[in-house]
Amino acid sequence: MSDVTLPPELVEAARRVVDANRAAGRRIAVAESCTGGLVSAALTEIPGSSDVLEAGFITYSNSAKQQLLGVSGDVLDTFGAVSIAVAWSMAQGALLKSEADVAVAITGVAGPGGGSEKKPVGTVVFARAERGGDPADVVADKRQFGDLGRGGVRLQAALCALELLLPDAAPDAP
């Protein structure tokens, strides 16, 4: 029996992130909501990930986003938990609460419930922040994965978050 319990494509993406960030001398942090630690689990599946992974925050509830990452209640009330503003605040908070060089945040609606007309099931928002980076250069993206099932949405969200952790994920990338 293999000791890998995660999907192979997720483990391979995590391996690329660990290898590339190790080569770049970068430490990373992850702030996860709808993925519930899946990105951190994938990263720690890779031997030597401790060279790269600084911190992982699972902030599923709004109060956890506020308490652990310093996301403003006003931002949550104004834009909602599944928004670029909240994802950006989560990424910034992960940098402030760690010694990481780069942080990625993920927040979304994995389903089967919780969706709305404006934010249907499968809506996931990502943001990446870099220590010392210009806030105007924030990388943020909103994806509509559709109703792939809870596991499918979480997997696709984790894969996108890992791509954002690659050193060559330029600020002007789509």
CATH number (domain holding residue 20): 3.90.950.20
* 3 within domain boundaries: no
pLDDT value at residue 2: 56
Structural domain of 105: 8-164
Residue 154: both structure tokens together: 């979480």
Query: Among candidates 134, 70, 75, 64, which has minimal Cα distance to 97?
Result: 70
Question: Is it true that the peptide bond before 171 is cis, omega within 30 degrees of 0?
Answer: no
Model confidence at 88: pLDDT above 90 = yes
Residue 55: both structure tokens together: 């911190």
pLDDT digit string, tens, across residues 108-152: 999 999 989 999 999 999 999 999 988 777 799 999 999 899 999
- Averaged pLDDT for residues 33-44: 98
Model confidence at 166: pLDDT above 60 = yes
Confidence of residue 92 (pLDDT cuts 50, 70, 90): very high
pLDDT value at residue 169: 66
- Averaged pLDDT for residues 6-14: 97
Model confidence at 91: pLDDT above 80 = yes
pLDDT value at residue 3: 63
* 173 within domain boundaries: no
* 127 within domain boundaries: yes
Confidence of residue 74 (pLDDT cuts 50, 70, 90): very high
* 174 within domain boundaries: no
Residue 103: both structure tokens together: 């942080």
In a 13 Å sphere around the CA of 92, the CA atoms on its Cβ side amount to 18
Name the domain count of the chain.
1
Mean pLDDT of all residues in the chain?
93
- Averaged pLDDT for residues 149-170: 92
Phi-psi region of 22 (alpha: psi -120 to 50; beta: other; left: phi over 0): alpha
Return the axis-axis angle of helices 62-69 and 84-96, rounded to nearest 10°: 40
